[in-house]
Amino acid sequence: MGGGNLKLTQFTAQSAAFQATSTGVIPIADVLNNSPLNLPIAFALSRSLAQRTSLLPANTPASAAYAALPQFVTVTGTLGAPKADLNKLALGGLLLNAGTGIAQKLGVKADGSAGGILQGVGSVLTGQKTPAPTNLPATNTAPKLNPLDLFKNK
């Protein structure tokens, strides 16, 4: 606290499945509950969950326990009445990428120009870069995925 601001240096909520973090500055209003919020929330999924849901970005380091998702939510409003402001384009792109990846794991063909378009649109909406296309044949196949495996308790 100082200079008329509350400084949020690090907020983290963490579980085995995900991690949410935020940092930012909250200007203090005359009435504390009226202090405005503008805090972006960064979400990350556990590496294994990100792999199973096809949300693991290609640039995720092998040693990373969590895989960062595109920033799609910001806490706005005031201390007395906080609101979640969703970036619907980034969230839609995230869901599109996940759906395309899961469909491919289930054996649904989304290749050629249709698959490339879906992946490209999802990447544009989330702000992620797509890997450069290659004419080389695939050297390994994706493992078969049972959708019910996503809901197993550990």
Q: What is the DSSP letter of 64?
A: -
- Residue range 120-133, pLDDT digits in tens: 444 444 455 544 45
Q: Please tell me whether residue 105 adopts helix, strand or coil conformation.
A: helix
- Find out whether 41 and 8 touch, Cβ atoms under 8 Å: no
Q: Where are the domains of the chain?
A: 5-151
Look at residue 125 in the predicted model and tell me its pLDDT.
Answer: 45
DSSP string, 62-125: TT-SEEEPPP-EEEEEBSSSEEEEE-HHHHHHHHHHHHHHHHHHTT----HHHHHHHHHHHHHH
What mean pLDDT, rounded, does the chain reach? Answer: 74
User: Does residue 3 carry a pLDDT above 60?
Assistant: yes
With bands split at pLDDT 50, 70 and 90, how would you rate the model's confidence at 20? Answer: very high
With bands split at pLDDT 50, 70 and 90, how would you rate the model's confidence at 83? Answer: very high
82-86 and 66-68 beta bridge pairing = unpaired
With bands split at pLDDT 50, 70 and 90, how would you rate the model's confidence at 145? Answer: low
Q: How far apart are CA 100 and CA 89, in angstroms?
A: 16
User: Does residue 99 carry a pLDDT above 80?
Assistant: no
